[in-house]
Amino acid sequence: MIEIKDLKKVYNNILVVNIPHLEIRKGESIGLVGNNGAGKTTLFRMMLDLIRPETGEVLSNGENVAGHENWKNYTASYLDEGFLIDYLTPEEYFYFIGGLYQQSRAQVDEFLAGLSDFFNGEILKRGKYIRDLSKGNQTKVGVASCLLQHPELLMLDEPFANIDPTTQFRLKNMLKEINKEQGVTTLVSSHDLNHVTDVCERILLMEKGRIIKDMATNSSTLSELEEYFAIGHKMEAVDSVKINVDEEENH
């Protein structure tokens, strides 16, 4: 479903993403883990054509996301509150999103009724604008708006951050359900190793812009990741160090 080829992104002369090749098959559940600055969010933003790479391409169902629009019809994503329209109430925002996908208000209401446990009485009919919600409740709105679109590909960046343990548990069950029962391809970035290994069947470990481990989730995956981060292992790769542009040009 997704193929990445020779993807590189540079900020301030530093190579922050460097992925020669990566394939994500339809129906997979992918967890992306790594320390701050590993390049996870930058990778997501290039996959969504929000920023352009220096080199390489991201193909979604065989089409370059930078040159086509078809992928937007089956892709839903929530990276941060910037994806929301904060001067709307949650209801207004859900009706707006539903309208983009030819859903009536009654259809949207019916869908939202199924998320009552996830919302936990904190989202609907509260008389608040999205900007006045807590970070955690904004995340709930963002995730719900993604599910409302009935996507084939779902991308979430740190969805477990800022939400309470009960909501984390419910979110994990929702992600498992749409992946197993609906075949939705899911990509989840998270600092929480327990959550991501519980939800995802394949884990990608990023370090300094590169995928240094690509592993199928099993009984030892969590302990392997915990050991990696506990020892503070640093990747020693030429492509991860500061690029001296002048030297490159002189060569």
- Please state, in angstroms and rounded to a whole number, the distance separating the CA atoms of residues 206 and 13: 19
Domain 74-200 has CATH 3.40.190.10: no
- Sorted by where each begins, the domain ranges of the chain are 1-29+51-72+207-251, 74-200
From first to last of its 251 residues, the chain has per-residue pLDDT tens of 999 999 999 999 999 999 999 999 999 999 999 999 899 999 999 999 999 999 999 999 999 999 899 999 999 999 999 999 999 999 999 999 999 999 999 999 999 999 999 999 999 999 999 999 999 999 999 999 999 999 999 999 999 999 999 999 999 999 999 999 999 999 999 999 999 999 999 999 999 999 999 999 999 999 999 999 988 654 433 334 444 444 444 44
Read off φ and ψ for residue 60, nearest 5 degrees.
-120, 115
Burial 57-93 (b: 16+ CB within 10 A, else e): bbbbbeeebeeeeebeebbbbbbeeebbeeebbbbeb
Q: What is the pLDDT of residue 248?
A: 45
